[in-house]
Structure 1
Amino acid sequence: MTPKKEDYLKIIFELGGRKKKVSNKQIAVSLNIAAGSVTEMVRKLVREGLVHHEPYAGISLTSNGVRVAEELIRRHRLWETFLVTKLDYPLQDVHEDAEVLEHATSDKLMDHLDKFLGYPKRCPHGGIIPNKNGDYEEDSHDVLGDMPDGASVEVDRFIDNHDLLAYLAGVKLQLGDKITVISHKPFEGPIEIKVEDTGEIMEIGYKAAHYIFVK
């Protein structure tokens, strides 16, 4: 399987494609690619039995697609955890090197890395890490952008996207922050939120708010 196909399976999984339909637009935005490229790749993944595609409804993983995605995500996120916690990589810069390492690592080494790290359940941007048996807790798939004015939520995880993580490092929104949604600006404008612990008011861009998961 090519690295590009693997990237699709991972992002479909991360967007909730194990249990719900994911749109072409969500995949395109998350991978920073053209929507036409998504259409062609999805056709290939359907032919290989890795995803289901319902026109005008969306894309979801097959049982085989879920199994492959879980293994890829375990490898990728264990390396991300190692690079951030042991080698002090900035979170927004860790993805590319983790991508290289996940493809060059034996199952035996992954098991030893998992043990060395203390069997982490979440990576540095909040994503779940399946254990070697494929067990893991459920992710939240509710996004900040869909929360109504007045909602009080906790930041649970971020999509693994370099531009998003760099943006969030700038606004200093962190995992575990308890926030209240103040208002949605019209015409896909920013979302104004209040961080409860500090009282800080900040604006989160419309696009970014749809790749910040809350609970």
Structure 2
Amino acid sequence: MTPIKEDYLKIIFELGGAKQEVSNKQIALALGVAAGSVTEMVSKLKKEKLVTHQPYNDIALTKKGLDQAILLIRKHRLWETFLAQKLEFKLADIHSEAEVLEHATSPELLAKLDAFLGFPTHCPHGGVIPDQTGHFQEESYTVLNQIPDGQVVTIERVIDDHELLIYLQDIQLKIERQVKVLKHEPFDGPIAVEELDTGRQMNISFKASHNIFVTDENGDPLKIDKKARRLKRD
């Protein structure tokens, strides 16, 4: 499998494709590519029975695609954890190094790496790490952009993207921080939020807000009722 196909499987998993359908637009925003490129690659993945997709409908991983995505995610995030915790790499720099290491990781090495790290359940970006049986903890697939004005949420995890991580580092937005959504600017403008513990206000870009996943104040997953267009708890 090509590295590009692997990137698509991983991003579909990150966006929630293991549990629900994700849109072409979500994938395009997460990968920073044109919608047409997503359509073309999804068509290839469908032919290989890695995803399900009907014209004008959303995308989800098949059992075959999920199995491959879980293994890729497990390798990648364990190496990211090792690089951040043991070698003290900056968070924005661990993705590219992990991409190289994951392709040279045997099952035995993977198992020993997992044990050496103490069987971590989450990577430095907040994403789940599947265990050796493929099991992984439930996580939120609600992005910051979906949260209505006035709602308080907790930053759970972010998409593993170098530019996004540099951006979040610059605005000093960190995982596990609680923020209150103040205002969505129109025409794909930024979202104004306020950190609860510091009172600091900041604007988060439209693209970044689609790649930041949030939970409620207690850390419980949130879901958006697409039909009713309203927020509700699991």
**TM-score (normalizing by structure 2):** 0.89
Q: Give distance in 1, aligned partners of 2:150 and 2:34.
A: 35
Query: Structure 1 residue 36: deviation in Å?
Result: 2.2
Query: Structure 1 residue 5: deviation in Å?
Result: 1.0
Runs of 4+ in 1 over 6 A off after TM superposition: none
Q: Give distance in 2, aligned partners of 1:96 and 1:5.
A: 16
CA offsets, 1:81-107, max 9 Å, x none? 111111111111111110010000111
Task: Describe the SS at the equivalent of 1:94.
Answer: helix
User: Which residue is equivalent to 2:86?
Assistant: 86
User: Which residue is equivalent to 1:74?
Assistant: 74
* Most deviating of 72-81 and 85-94: 85-94
Task: Describe the SS at the equivalent of 2:86.
Answer: helix
User: Which residue is equivalent to 2:53?
Assistant: 53
Aligned residue type for 1:154: T
Task: Describe the SS at the equivalent of 2:202.
Answer: strand
Task: Describe the SS at the equivalent of 1:100.
Answer: helix
**TM-score (normalizing by structure 1):** 0.97
1:135 aligns with 2:135: yes
CA contact (8 A) 2:74 2:131 kept: yes
CA offsets, 1:162-196, max 9 Å, x none? 11111000001111101111111111111111101
User: Which residue is equivalent to 1:97?
Assistant: 97
Q: Give distance in 1, aligned partners of 2:199 and 2:119.
A: 35
RMSD value over aligned CA atoms? 1.0
User: Which residue is equivalent to 1:38?
Assistant: 38
User: Which residue is equivalent to 1:198?
Assistant: 198
User: Which residue is equivalent to 1:186?
Assistant: 186
Query: Structure 1 residue 45: deviation in Å?
Result: 0.8
Query: Structure 1 residue 204: deviation in Å?
Result: 0.7
Q: Give distance in 1, aligned partners of 2:42 and 2:210.
A: 22
Task: Describe the SS at the equivalent of 1:169.
Answer: helix
Q: Give distance in 2, aligned partners of 1:134 and 1:21.
A: 20
Q: Which 5+ residue runs of structure 2 have no aligned equivalent?
A: 216-234
Q: Which 5+ residue runs of structure 1 have no aligned equivalent?
A: none
Task: Describe the SS at the equivalent of 2:192.
Answer: strand
Q: Give distance in 2, aligned partners of 1:38 and 1:176.
A: 31
User: Which residue is equivalent to 2:14?
Assistant: 14
Q: Give distance in 2, aligned partners of 1:213 and 1:174.
A: 12
Q: Give distance in 1, aligned partners of 2:153 and 2:26.
A: 22
Q: Give distance in 1, aligned partners of 2:78 and 2:188.
A: 35
Task: Describe the SS at the equivalent of 2:170.
Answer: helix
Q: What is the aligned length?
A: 215
Query: Structure 1 residue 214: deviation in Å?
Result: 0.3
Q: Give distance in 2, aligned partners of 1:152 and 1:38.
A: 33
Query: Structure 1 residue 210: deviation in Å?
Result: 1.0
CA contact (8 A) 2:29 2:210 kept: no
CA contact (8 A) 2:26 2:210 kept: no
Q: Give distance in 2, aligned partners of 1:19 and 1:56.
A: 19
Q: Give distance in 1, aligned partners of 2:184 and 2:19.
A: 28
Aligned residue type for 1:65: G
Query: Structure 1 residue 32: deviation in Å?
Result: 2.4
